[in-house]
Amino acid sequence: MTERITQQAALFTGADNWTSRADEADQIPSIRFSDGPHGLRIERTAGFGFNESHPSTAYPTASLTACSFDRELQRELGEHLAAECIRDGVQVLLGPGINHKRDPRCGRNFEYYSEDPYLSGELGAAYVNGVQSCGVGVSVKHFAGNSREYGRMVEDSVIDERALHELYLAQFERVIRQSRPWSVMCAYNRLNGEYCCQNKPLMSLARDRWGFDGIFISDWGAVADPVESIRAGLNLEMPGGNHGSTERIIDAVKHQTLDPAVLVENAERIRLLAKRTADPHCSDTGDDHEAFALKAAQESAVLMKNNGALPIEKNDMIALIGPFAREPRIQGTGSSKVNASKQDSLYDAMKDMRALFSYAPGYSVNNHQPDSALEEQALDLAARASKVIVMAGLPEGDEAEGYDRTGIALPENQNRLIQKLARINRNVIVVLQCGAPVELPWRNEVNAVLCMYLAGCRSGEAAWNLLSGKVNPSGKLAESWPETLADVPSAECFRESLLQVQYRESIYSGYRYYDAAGIDPAFAFGHGCSYTTYEYHDLTVRNEGQSITATVQVTNTGDREGNEIVQLYVAKDRSQIARCAKELKGFEKVDLQPGETKTVSFQLDERSFSYYDAEKHDWCVEAGQYRILAGASSRDIRCEATLFLDGTLHPYSRIPQNYLKPGTHGEERFSREAFARILGGSIPAVRAAKPFTGNSSVAELSQSGMGKLIRTGIAFAQSRLSGKGVSEDMILEAPVRSIFWVSRHATWDTVDAIADVFNGKSTVFRVYRTLHRDD
């Protein structure tokens, strides 16, 4: 092989954990990558797990900022993050995460925006525009069908074609078309049988149909086969290192199973990214980063309920309850966890503002069982207070990257305490800190609920400004909050198998499901209260040929300024195919003074009325009457108008109109047989455990005769990884090729040799011989 081919092959694999390789001969510099979506995380040390990072600003997570429904806020967040990247020499920021929120148990949901692809796409595009306007790149993730952490590196997401395009790819398409991201990160999982990092149809769709011209980068450790990946269109394998990918690519070219033109094209794409990130420039953000974190939290928090206890009055004597009041949860755990340079608390904010309050913990975050002594102390304070603020939420270990929650309940000690407090004080206010929805069995017993999600480094001051009325709450929920886990459409099929997850609910996810099934969530998508009131009227729709304009009048009918998030939904009357009751197709956040009326306008295009036709493999408009709905939430429609459109008279969908049986629970909601039909005839078989390969999970290997030895090895690995966020389950679910994280000496030959040992075809000595020992 020529030296040039060797150099080009080497560009496919990164130099180390966080940088790409340079090619001096071709004047391609190294590019530095870094986590994360809501704060810069530059690791102090390398290695397996989530290592300690340098101090940085912890902004609110996407689960909260999505509730702002504010494109400009996302753009500003992107600019602030870009400024920190430039300060620390980072060329590409690994974010935003825009995966569909399919199930509230997903451990990584705090990193994602919404259950609605239109909202996720619009906010994601604004974020990307903000970052890239400063000459810093992004990596939009995780592409695609990545909606759970359980088995994420080995599982196969089985999704029917219509649901795939309408719910799981639509947000990626919107971001790519609107903001032209400079890189997209391919996910760990398989998608309909093929690993995303070597899924040629998936990557070709983005390039050929959506116009993507950046690079595809692997999630860290997601490459299952370097040759298949570069052939399919992946451009960069991360993390890097000397583990043999270059040699395998060169060998494939030598044996004419890989066209050398692929290497040339790949090098040019890497060069383009280097060129795009060569001249970073900070925008004038106008304030410090912590001040923006405060602004973002305040403009995103959702007042879920208020029966008059809020806002807090100056003379209110408050009982402040809960450990989170002094040591708040401000972010999630995993690759996005920031070493916050500053952090406040509600306790400190109330003290600084000289609020009248007494504090008691009330419960422990280290033990979910009730503690009578702690409860009695809290109840005593509550009995003597005019109002009670309870800080409640999920302990840090309950939700994280790498594993999912097993349920959606709050710890028992918190639920019991809140119910007891509500019996002795009618003004109990619950402030929630969690990354995703939880069951609220006491929601009808308390007076007010403020949802802060994970609000970043200024969560304390933000919460107090909202509770005290200094700031009028304006956030709306970007996801439905179910009454119970049983109400979630994916409840039964979320965790059936380590190796496969069937998306049997198809298009009926989130509010689309609750509307179609006639189930009332605890709090609906788009819901949020305010300290003022709004009236909607005079909705009009004009068909102007290429676009449709909808306008609605909104009036602030209260006595204080507020920001209302106006939502526009589209519904198809008497459709010939299975369709959701309505879908979000527009939103605007409008500032209104008391008594002020403003006209809010929305532009709708053909896509706003389209469904995905799995026979034509394209988007189509069904002819007939549509309703345009303007509302304050998906369940609070204030006015509507009708519109007739031309389109196909014979729409096609494999999903039958009776696929969803309204009002039912359990397996019969979405049977395997019905799901097989909408897939096209059959559900793919789960791959056999044997023969073992480099993609076999450690759990599968442990079923062999060497299971005891493997368990001993896991215990040893955990002892070395203590404090790095790696659990036993995460190790068990990892594939054999994850050895690259543990040993810098391991190669792809090592991976193959390990598989052969477990298949009885080789010896441990051969494994030893494959290890690099030159360093």
- Unique residue bearing structure tokens 């990884």: 721
Read off φ and ψ for residue 561, nearest 5 degrees. -65, 145
Q: Per DSSP, what are the bridge partners of residue 633?
A: 636
Q: Per DSSP, what are the bridge partners of residue 313?
A: none
Distance, in Å, from the CA atom of 183 to the CA atom of 140, rounded to the nearest integer, reads: 7
Using alpha carbons only, what angle is made at residue 232 by residues 246 and 226, rounded to the nearest 5 degrees? 25
> What single-letter amino acid sits at 720?
R
Provide the pairing of β-strand 618-621 with 548-556.
Answer: unpaired
- Rg for the chain, CA atoms, rounded: 26
- Unique residue bearing structure tokens 């009578």: 372
**Residue from 549, 493, 478 nearest 159 by CA:** 493
Give the DSSP per-residue string, 443-500: TTTSSEEEE--S--TTHHHHHHHHHTTSS------SS-B-SSGGGSTTTTTSSS-SSE
Give the DSSP per-residue string, 659-694: SS-TT--SGGGS-HHHHHHHHTS-PPPPPPS-S--T
Residue 434: other Cβ atoms inside 10 A = 25
Catalytic residues: 219
Distance, in Å, from the CA atom of 490 to the CA atom of 67, rounded to the nearest integer, reads: 23
Provide the pairing of β-strand 183-186 with 140-143.
Answer: parallel
Q: How many CA atoms lie within 13 A of 31 on its CB side?
A: 37
**Residue from 428, 435, 347, 426 nearest 398 by CA:** 435
Q: How far apart, in Å, are the Cα atoms of 650 and each of 537, 543, 570?
A: 35, 23, 20
Q: Please tell me whether residue 421 adopts helix, strand or coil conformation.
A: helix
**Residue from 79, 81, 76 nearest 38 by CA:** 81
**Angle of helix 117-132 relative to helix 170-179, nearest 10 degrees?**
30
Q: Are 328 and 396 in contact (CB under 8 A)?
A: no
Kindly give the residue spans of alpha helices, DSSP state H, lying in 658-697.
672-679
Distance, in Å, from the CA atom of 189 to the CA atom of 200, rounded to the nearest integer, reads: 14
